[in-house]
């Protein structure tokens, strides 16, 4: 059980407080972007390319302009006049807002139609006639790397190939030596497919430019409103928009998962049109546009290798990655990290030698590479290490749980330096796996498996014991476009002892309105119910880098605790004044200060706050407010031990996930109910790529499953009944010992599922399956082995 220091009335850390934000959603009174209607608002729709690679010979807008209600059609040539036809990506590459001559992927924006109604805009879009000269696209990233591949980015002067960047880390020579001398080497190619965040709300905005005051209010689905404001100021500064005249408002967001971090062309076009017309412009993308053009994730081709001893000791790992970025590098990574935090791929195991390298390449596919519920490529990293570890166990005939137990970094060895340079803050991997094995009944399952195998039945047990790296990040290394990745909290306590707190982050369903209030309640003893939380409005919230990569609790959550502690220091001074004792004679007990040895002499936090406005000591500033910008000293390293049991039908290849136990360690828990909810949701987003989801392109660059009819987001039927639990090793450097949890389950679960499936098929010599593992793939593999 989780120990709580506060009462239920106060609901500080550890209480499963029911969420404060729920009521408005349950009544249908959330404020999502498409709910916003402004007087005189225009609607925008976007004509898109049917081809993956083509020259634009002509765009004929005359018919579109005749459609009743259509007021304008905007093309790349129009934006070019204002030098707004290109924009920078987060990775300092460039991306077309609208093309002037060439389209680079199917569904790319070609022209925007502005009209007085949603339907008129759509009619206008259908009437835009574009003449294309179709070219042969480059779709396969390996072919794109060939010396004779056509160069795609001809807009970049002097560019002679499709290579974007090379990255490497670790000790190459030492790794080679260990591999050369090793008793056992295993090697596996694996593909982590292109997938999509598919939040149920798509992306959209209302750009509202006020010509008289030269002021832009940008309502948009963004996870990082402040960063967006700065980006707009940087990109549109030359047309006279400066940062104090820009307000970005991120309303309620219907799921983000990283897909609402980037700046998509639609946002920029809407701003441009509002700027030119002086009218509010709404753009809401369709689901199909969202799937086909925005925010893909993953798409890593990995070769993983592991060297070890016959006795099962891991000695070194080596990873080689080819990253397909589509036509531009629009990944959402901290600037210095081309491959995000992929270098966490050495995993939870105690060895000191590793080498990793990666190359990125342009193809005729949509740009992206967002951190989909993932701290920047950690999902890819965890998949690689957890799969290759299982391959190793299989190779030497050792139980994968035993092999992991043997190799885990020991609890007492933290802080621990990884072969790629990370300092893991804390963990107890043995305890986590032990708990998961007990919860699922591991030994009994292995016995059952032996019996089943005798009868020719396919049953598999798969494990994933992963280490995450979240909470970007320490400002010495982490920035986005130069802005350091701190985050912020501002707390104002009103005279009657009720508070409002504002943050630089932005919830998209994580429950910040509840959890941040609980952190402050823990520190100040003011009931969480009396603490109002606000995020998402750059005019009122302190600057912050936003919510993604499980960074809110590690950064803004820490800022809340530190700001609250500043207030507690002030409270002590006021209490000393009111009680006429020295500050040192006061003892803090949740919600009040009392005099040492005389507990009846006390002042509650509410009395103290009231005094801060009505009777504060002379010389002290009145009021009760504090702000903190928190720059984390290190990242946090949540971990998990997941075990999955599958049964496979030999005749059809159908896979049934019988059980799935997830034991997570996210440090101190703020709200167990919310943590558990995050884990459930993340697990379903883990089974999705493991068994169902992949964006598939044919060789002409046509997307084959660009709608929710054929892109298989799991329903309640595909989603197993998740079993969850936890161990707690607090982060030693975080003010409340928390680590962040949102993405752990998405990151950690796919390899557990695949390992279980491969384990089931292993008696037939099957050693690997690429995700998504579908019944057809299983059936085919069994057929090849002559089993069906």
Partner 1 sequence: MNKVITVTVNGVQQVLEVEPRTLLVHMIREILNLTGTHIGCDTSSCGACTILLDGKSVKSCTILAVQANGKSITTIEGISTEGELNPIQEGFKENHGLHCGFCTPGMIMRITELLKDNPDPTEEEIRWGISGNLCRCTGYNNIVKAVLYASAKMRGVPTASTEPEFV
Give the interface with ligand FES as residue ranges (CB under 6 A). 200, 255, 509
- Find the shortest distance in angstroms from Cβ 25 to ligand FES: 8
The tokens describing 172, both together, are: 């190459």
Q: What are phi and psi of 692, to 5 degrees?
A: -130, -40
Report d(CA 431, CA 428) in Å as an integer. Answer: 6
> Which residue from 225, 334, 591, 682 is in contact with partner 1, where contact means CB under 8 A?
682
- Residue closer to partner 1 (CB basis): 19 or 406: 19
If binding means CB under 8 A, how many residues of this protein chain bind partner 1? 69
- Residue closer to ligand FES (CB basis): 444 or 709: 709
- Residue closer to partner 1 (CB basis): 475 or 705: 705
Q: Give 3-state DSSP helix, strand, coil % of the chain, rounded to 5.
A: 30, 25, 40
- The reply to whether 205 belongs to the active site is no
Let me know: does 497 contact 526? Beta carbons within 8 Å.
yes
The tokens describing 244, both together, are: 């104090």
> Which span (326-334, 502-510, 553-561, 567-575) binds partner 1, by CB under 8 A?
502-510
Based on the shown chain and the rule CB under 8 A, indicate whether residue 734 belongs to the binding site for partner 1.
no
- Residue closer to partner 1 (CB basis): 147 or 709: 709
| Positions 281 through 300 that interact with partner 1 (CB under 8 A) | 286-288
Report d(CA 223, CA 258) in Å as an integer. Answer: 8
| Widest distance between CA atoms in the chain | 88
The per-residue DSSP string of 81-113 comes to TTT-SEEE-TTS-EEESS-SSEE-STT-EEEEE
Say which residue the tokens 């104090």 belong to.
Answer: 244
**From 374, 510, 678, 694, active-site residue:** 374
Nearest partner of 302 among 324, 331, 330, 329, judged by Cα? 324
What is the crossing angle of helices 378-396 and 744-761, to 10°? Answer: 30
Spell out the residues 6+ positions from residue 80 whose beta carbon is closer than 8 angstroms to its own: 100
- Find the shortest distance in angstroms from Cβ 208 to partner 1: 18
Based on the shown chain and the rule CB under 8 A, indicate whether residue 709 belongs to the binding site for partner 1.
yes
Based on the shown chain and the rule CB under 8 A, indicate whether residue 439 belongs to the binding site for partner 1.
yes
- Find the shortest distance in angstroms from Cβ 679 to partner 1: 8
- Find the shortest distance in angstroms from Cβ 254 to ligand FES: 6
- Residue closer to partner 1 (CB basis): 223 or 375: 223
Q: What are phi and psi of 530, to 5 degrees?
A: -95, 15
> Which span (68-76, 102-110, 377-385, 709-717) binds partner 1, by CB under 8 A?
709-717
| Positions 214 through 273 that interact with partner 1 (CB under 8 A) | 252-255, 257
- Find the shortest distance in angstroms from Cβ 37 to partner 1: 8
Report d(CA 742, CA 722) in Å as an integer. Answer: 15
- Find the shortest distance in angstroms from Cβ 200 to ligand FES: 4
- The reply to whether 374 belongs to the active site is yes
Q: What is the DSSP letter of 33?
A: G
Report d(CA 182, CA 117) in Å as an integer. Answer: 68
Report d(CA 582, CA 170) in Å as an integer. Answer: 55
- The reply to whether 292 belongs to the active site is no
134: helix, strand or coil? strand
Based on the shown chain and the rule CB under 8 A, indicate whether residue 510 belongs to the binding site for partner 1.
yes
CA 772 to chain centre: 20
- Residue closer to partner 1 (CB basis): 474 or 677: 677
Report d(CA 567, CA 157) in Å as an integer. Answer: 56
Based on the shown chain and the rule CB under 8 A, indicate whether residue 713 belongs to the binding site for partner 1.
yes
What is the crossing angle of helices 744-761 and 672-687, to 10°? Answer: 50
Let me know: does 262 contact 332? Beta carbons within 8 Å.
yes
Based on the shown chain and the rule CB under 8 A, indicate whether residue 683 belongs to the binding site for partner 1.
yes
**From 289, 386, 490, 743, active-site residue:** 743
| Positions 186 through 215 that interact with partner 1 (CB under 8 A) | 197-202
**From 125, 194, 318, 373, active-site residue:** 373
- The reply to whether 606 belongs to the active site is no
Based on the shown chain and the rule CB under 8 A, indicate whether residue 165 belongs to the binding site for partner 1.
no
Say which residue the tokens 């399952």 belong to.
Answer: 445
The tokens describing 242, both together, are: 């400066």
- Residue closer to partner 1 (CB basis): 67 or 138: 67
> Which span (316-324, 634-642, 689-697, 717-725) binds partner 1, by CB under 8 A?
717-725
- Residue closer to partner 1 (CB basis): 189 or 710: 710
Q: Which residues are near partner 1 by CB under 8 A?
A: 2, 16, 18-19, 21-30, 32, 34-35, 37, 118-119, 197-202, 252-255, 257, 286-288, 435, 439, 508-511, 663, 672-685, 707-709, 713, 715-717, 719, 721-726
Which residues are catalytically annotated?
223, 373-374, 743
């Amino acid at each position: 059980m989780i120990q709580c220091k506060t009462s239920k009335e106060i609901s500080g850390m550890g209480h499963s407080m029911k969420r404060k934000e729920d009521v408005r959603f349950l009544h249908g009174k959330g404020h999502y972007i498409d709910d916003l209607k402004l007087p005189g608002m225009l609607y925008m729709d976007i004509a898109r390319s049917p081809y993956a690679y083509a020259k634009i010979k002509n765009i004929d807008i005359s018919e579109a302009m005749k459609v009743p209600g259509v007021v304008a059609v905007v093309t790349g040539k129009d934006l070019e006049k204002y030098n707004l036809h290109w924009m920078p990506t987060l990775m300092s590459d460039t991306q077309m807002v609208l093309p002037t001559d060439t389209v680079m992927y199917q569904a790319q924006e070609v022209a925007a139609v502005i009209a007085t109604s949603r339907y008129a805009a759509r009619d206008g879009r259908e009437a835009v006639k574009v003449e294309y000269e179709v070219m042969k696209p480059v779709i396969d990233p390996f072919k794109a790397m060939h010396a004779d591949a056509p160069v795609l980015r001809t807009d970049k002067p002097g560019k002679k190939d499709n290579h974007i960047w090379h990255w490497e880390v670790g000790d190459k020579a030492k790794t080679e030596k260990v591999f050369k001398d090793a008793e056992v080497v295993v090697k596996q190619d694996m593909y982590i497919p292109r997938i999509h965040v598919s939040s149920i709300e798509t992306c959209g905005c209302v750009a509202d430019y006020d010509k008289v005051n030269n002021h832009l209010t940008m309502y948009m689905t963004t996870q990082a409103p402040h960063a967006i404001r700065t980006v707009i100021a940087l990109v549109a500064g030359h047309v006279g928009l400066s940062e104090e005249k820009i307000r970005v408002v991120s309303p309620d967001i219907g799921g983000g998962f990283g897909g609402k971090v980037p700046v998509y062309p639609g946002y920029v076009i809407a701003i441009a049109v509002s700027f030119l017309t002086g009218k509010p412009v709404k753009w809401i993308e369709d689901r199909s546009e969202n799937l086909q053009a925005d925010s893909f994730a993953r798409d890593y081709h990995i070769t993983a290798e592991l060297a070890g001893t016959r006795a099962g000791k891991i000695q070194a790992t080596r990873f080689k990655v080819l990253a397909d970025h589509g036509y531009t590098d629009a990944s959402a990574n901290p600037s210095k990290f081309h491959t995000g935090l992929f270098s966490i791929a050495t995993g939870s195991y105690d060895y000191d030698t590793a080498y990793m390298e990666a190359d990125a390449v342009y193809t005729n596919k949509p740009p992206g590479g967002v951190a989909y519920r993932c701290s920047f490529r950690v999902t890819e990293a965890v998949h690689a290490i957890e799969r290759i570890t299982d391959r190793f166990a299989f190779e030497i005939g050792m139980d994968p749980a035993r092999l992991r137990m043997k190799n885990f970094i020991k609890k007492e060895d933290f802080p621990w330096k990884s072969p790629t340079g990370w300092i893991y803050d804390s963990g107890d991997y043995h305890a986590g796996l032990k708990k998961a094995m007990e919860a699922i009944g591991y030994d009994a399952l292995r016995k059952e498996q032996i019996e089943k195998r005798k009868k020719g039945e396919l049953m598999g047990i798969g494990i994933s014991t992963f280490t995450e790296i979240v909470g970007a990040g320490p400002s010495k290394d982490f920035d986005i476009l130069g802005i350091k990745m701190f985050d912020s909290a501002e707390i104002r306590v009103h005279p009657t002892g009720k508070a409002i707190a504002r943050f630089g982050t932005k919830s998209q369903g994580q429950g910040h309105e509840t959890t941040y209030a609980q952190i402050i309640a823990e520190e100040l003893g003011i009931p969480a119910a009396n603490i109002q939380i606000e995020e998402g409005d750059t005019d009122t919230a302190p600057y912050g880098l936003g919510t993604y990569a499980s960074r809110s609790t590690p950064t803004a959550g820490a800022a809340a605790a530190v700001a609250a502690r500043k207030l507690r220091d002030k409270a002590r001074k006021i209490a000393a004044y009111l009680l006429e004792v020295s500050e040192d004679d006061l003892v803090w007990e949740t919600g009040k200060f009392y005099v040492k040895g005389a507990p009846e002499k006390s002042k509650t936090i509410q009395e103290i706050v009231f005094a801060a406005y009505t009777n504060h000591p002379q010389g002290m500033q009145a009021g009760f407010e504090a702000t903190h910008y928190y720059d984390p000293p290190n990242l946090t390293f949540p971990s998990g031990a997941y075990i999955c049991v599958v049964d496979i039908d030999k005749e059809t290849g159908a896979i049934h996930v019988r059980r799935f136990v997830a034991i997570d360690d996210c440090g101190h828990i703020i709200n167990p109910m919310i943590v558990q909810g995050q884990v459930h949701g993340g697990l379903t987003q883990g089974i999705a790529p493991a068994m169902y989801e992949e964006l598939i392109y044919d060789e002409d660059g046509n997307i084959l499953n660009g709608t929710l009819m054929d892109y298989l987001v799991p329903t309640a039927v595909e989603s197993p009944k998740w079993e969850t639990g936890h161990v707690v090793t607090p982060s030693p450097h975080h003010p409340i010992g928390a680590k962040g949890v949102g993405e752990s389950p998405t990151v950690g679960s796919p390899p557990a599922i695949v390992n279980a499936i491969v384990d089931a098929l292993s008696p037939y010599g099957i050693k690997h399956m690429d995700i998504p593992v579908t019944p057809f793939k299983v059936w085919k593999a069994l057929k090849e082995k002559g089993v069906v």
